[in-house]
Amino acid sequence: MSENSLIDAARQYHSGTKHSYLSVRLHPHALDWENKPLLFKIYPTMEVTRLPRDFQDTGKPALSAIAAAGVEPKGEAVPDLETLAQVLFFSAGVTKSRKHGEGETFFRAAACTGALYEIELYVVCSDLRSKIQLSGSPPALPAGVYHFGAAEFGLRQLRAGDCRQALITAAGDDPAVAHAPVIIICTGTYWRNAWKYRSRTYRHFGWDNGTILANCLAISGAMGLPTRVITGFIDPQVNTLLDLDTKREVSFSIVPVGWTQLVPPSPPAIEPLALPVVPYSAKEVDYASMRKIHEASSLDSVAEVIAWRGKTPGNEMAPAKETTSALLSLSDSRIPPDTIEQVISRRGSTRQFSRDPITMAELSTMLDRATRGIPADFIDPPGSHLNDLYLIVNNVIGLAAGAYVYHWDEKFLEPLKRGEFRDKAGYLGLEQQIPADAAVDIFFLADLKKILERYGNRGYRAAQLEAGILGGKLYLAAYAQKLGCSGLTFYDDDVASFFSPHARGKSAIFLIALGRSALRKSESSRR
């Protein structure tokens, strides 16, 4: 029996990292600012190849890009160097920075818990050309394995040669990987996030990788590139290819980008690299429970990968029994024209909401565009899902205040409780003011018992990752409409209890607050 099927590991990790009113008081955590980790992985002995930044805007409205559930291959779609640079920048690049007395703060394309950016990106590719390259000249980017340096906006070659076949084997000959000229690997670095969030960090791997993937899917789709999220792969094989110190950093997802008919050659020998890396902090704290759940959810053979992928479930949802509220989302002809690049560039995380209302059309548009489907190996059939969305509506014009559950397929909200729940939303969101002031709070809940029984421990990764992708789509859908958004943590069991009996047996996974930014309102009043 594989370790992935011993699902007590995921149950124990999830239970052991729950927040409650009592736990946050019994286990307070003071941040050691002198030991705050570096926000970038740095290979000091490797030269960086700078990437071009003269991006050509796709012209694709953000709300259309978010809604796309993937691009079907229609022949050769091989990104050039400029296209790859654009995908990397709008997925995980530094979009702006702000200098202050204590240094400089960097803002990335995708939201991240605590702005600690523990997700690293690597690129495994064939030879790539440049748009301005002369015919017959050497490739602008030779085939190899590269680390994406967000700080310098460049790539460092870790291995030379076409290594894609190693990933094809690791992914069980998944067709999207087999035909991809570019494969992006996302990894999670434990300590960079655990410095603040301790053992709960492994949940954040899914959230923070998910927001990056939401951006990546949107920008790749806007550029006409087939893209898919792959979570079923042989972990040790991918970690070895990247030469990761798995006590500190582990592979979490794979993203094939583009499509080519050409079959990759056999990979060169994968020898240890032993490349030095600048330490993140003077000292690190090892939270063993995170490594334990990662190891317990790892797949070690092609047979395990194929068996795991064959267990992807559909979703069963109980029919509504009460009066329902149908979505009134904007038609495609009325969606805001701001492109996906413009929206990602201005996206932030709202730290204070104004308590002003949003409209039913704005809420409907966010829900509709975020839930039209995710091209991923854990989503089959298309349109199925692992997380259910529960809402506390505080101030939405055209929708009574109260608690609701969202029905994905039929696109409507079923009321569960009528009434004013602002204070309850604030309490459930770890007693923070943000969810109390938001116009609406969306809680992601999943039936982990059913998910783990079908997927094994790796289903826990998939549930967290799907929540992060959906949360990232909601971020972009909110900012596309000039609204605010913030991802938050929560009191686990209290959330499930509040939405019960409908949510009985489910587990809280993520929380997104939506509304109008108090800062934007203040800026408008000064004009």
**Is 98's pLDDT higher than 90?**
no
Q: Say what the pLDDT of residue 53 is.
A: 93
Q: Say what the pLDDT of residue 333 is.
A: 62
Distance in Å from the first CA to the final CA of the chain:
66
Q: Say what the pLDDT of residue 527 is.
A: 44
Q: Say what the pLDDT of residue 218 is.
A: 97
Mean pLDDT of 153-179: 96
User: To which CATH superfamily is domain 325-526 assigned?
Assistant: NADH Oxidase (3.40.109.10)
Instruction: Tell me the backbone φ, ψ of residue 103, rounded to 5 degrees.
Output: 140, -135
Dihedral (C-alpha) 411, 417, 423, 427: value to the nearest 10 degrees?
A: -80
Tens of pLDDT along 346-395? 999 999 999 999 999 999 999 999 999 999 999 877 778 999 999 999 99
Dihedral (C-alpha) 325, 330, 332, 337: value to the nearest 10 degrees?
A: -150
How many whole angstroms separate alpha carbon 414 and alpha carbon 350? 27
Q: How far from 407 is each of 266, 320, 324, CA to CA, in Å?
A: 47, 8, 10
Q: How far from 36 is each of 27, 107, 249, 512, CA to CA, in Å?
A: 20, 17, 17, 26
Q: Locate all alpha helices (DSSP H) within 198-280, ordered by sequence.
A: 201-222, 235-242
Dihedral (C-alpha) 230, 290, 487, 102: value to the nearest 10 degrees?
A: -120
**Is 326's pLDDT higher than 90?**
no
Q: DSSP string of 18-67?
A: ---TTHHHHS-----GGGPPPSS---TTS--EEPP--PPP---BHHHHHH
Tens of pLDDT along 242-257? 999 999 999 999 999 9
Q: Tell me the one-letter amino acid at 161.
A: G
Q: Tell me the one-letter amino acid at 499.
A: F
If you search the block for the tokens 């939303």, which residue do you land on? 425
How many whole angstroms separate alpha carbon 470 and alpha carbon 373? 9
Tens of pLDDT along 447-461? 999 999 999 999 999
What confidence category does residue 80 fall into, taking pLDDT thresholds of 50, 70 and 90? very high
Q: How far from 68 is each of 150, 216, 343, 425, 476, CA to CA, in Å?
A: 26, 12, 16, 31, 13
What confidence category does residue 305 fall into, taking pLDDT thresholds of 50, 70 and 90? very high
**Is 83's pLDDT higher than 60?**
yes
Q: Say what the pLDDT of residue 70 is.
A: 81
**Is 316's pLDDT higher than 60?**
no
Q: Percentage of the chain with pLDDT > 70? A: 94
Q: Say what the pLDDT of residue 380 is.
A: 76
The residue among 133 and 314 whose pLDDT is bigger is 133
Specify whether the backbone of 217 is left (phi greater than 0), alpha (psi in -120 to 50) or beta.
alpha
Q: Say what the pLDDT of residue 343 is.
A: 97
How many whole angstroms separate alpha carbon 497 and alpha carbon 492? 9
Q: DSSP string of 78-139?
A: ---HHHHHHHHHHHH-EEEEEEETTEEEEEESS--GGG---EEEEEEES-B--TTPPTTSPP
Nearest to 163 by CA among 128, 125, 120: 125
Mean pLDDT of 202-209: 98
Q: Say what the pLDDT of residue 69 is.
A: 80
Q: Say what the pLDDT of residue 72 is.
A: 84
Q: Say what the pLDDT of residue 163 is.
A: 97
Mean pLDDT of 408-425: 94
By DSSP bridging, strand 396-397 and strand 358-359 are: parallel
Q: Say what the pLDDT of residue 319 is.
A: 43
- Cα 163–169–171 angle (5° rounding)? 105
Quote helix, strand, coil % in the chain, to nearest 5: 35, 20, 45
What confidence category does residue 332 fall into, taking pLDDT thresholds of 50, 70 and 90? low
Q: Say what the pLDDT of residue 320 is.
A: 43
**Is 329's pLDDT higher than 80?**
no
**Is 102's pLDDT higher than 80?**
no
- Say if residue 411 is exposed, middle or buried (CB neighbours under 10 Å; 0-12, 13-18, 19+): middle
What confidence category does residue 331 fall into, taking pLDDT thresholds of 50, 70 and 90? low
User: Which residues contact residue 392 at a Cβ distance below 8 angstroms, ignoring those fewer than 6 apart?
Assistant: 402, 403, 421, 424, 425, 428, 435, 440, 441, 443
Mean pLDDT of 127-154: 91
Task: Pull the structure tokens for residue 228.
Answer: 């898919």
Q: How far from 392 is each of 464, 485, 517, CA to CA, in Å?
A: 21, 15, 18
What confidence category does residue 312 fall into, taking pLDDT thresholds of 50, 70 and 90? low
Q: Say what the pLDDT of residue 519 is.
A: 81
Beta bridge partners of 119: 188
Beta bridge partners of 356: none
Tens of pLDDT along 108-130? 999 999 999 999 999 999 999 99
The residue among 9 and 138 whose pLDDT is bigger is 9
152-171 b/e with 16+ CB inside 10 Å = b?
ebbbbbbbeebbbbbbbbbb
Q: Say what the pLDDT of residue 314 is.
A: 46
What confidence category does residue 299 fall into, taking pLDDT thresholds of 50, 70 and 90? very high
What confidence category does residue 334 fall into, taking pLDDT thresholds of 50, 70 and 90? confident
How many whole angstroms separate alpha carbon 359 and alpha carbon 182? 41
**Is 523's pLDDT higher than 60?**
no
The residue among 438 and 412 whose pLDDT is bigger is 438
Neighbours of 512 (CB within 10 A): 28
3-state SS string for 402-445: EEEEEECCCCEEEEEEECCCHHHHHHHCCCCHHHHHCCEEEEEE
**Is 258's pLDDT higher than 90?**
yes
Q: Which CATH architecture has domain 77-266+281-309?
A: 3-Layer(aba) Sandwich (3.40)
Range(s) of the chain covered by CATH 3.40.109.10: 77-266+281-309, 325-526
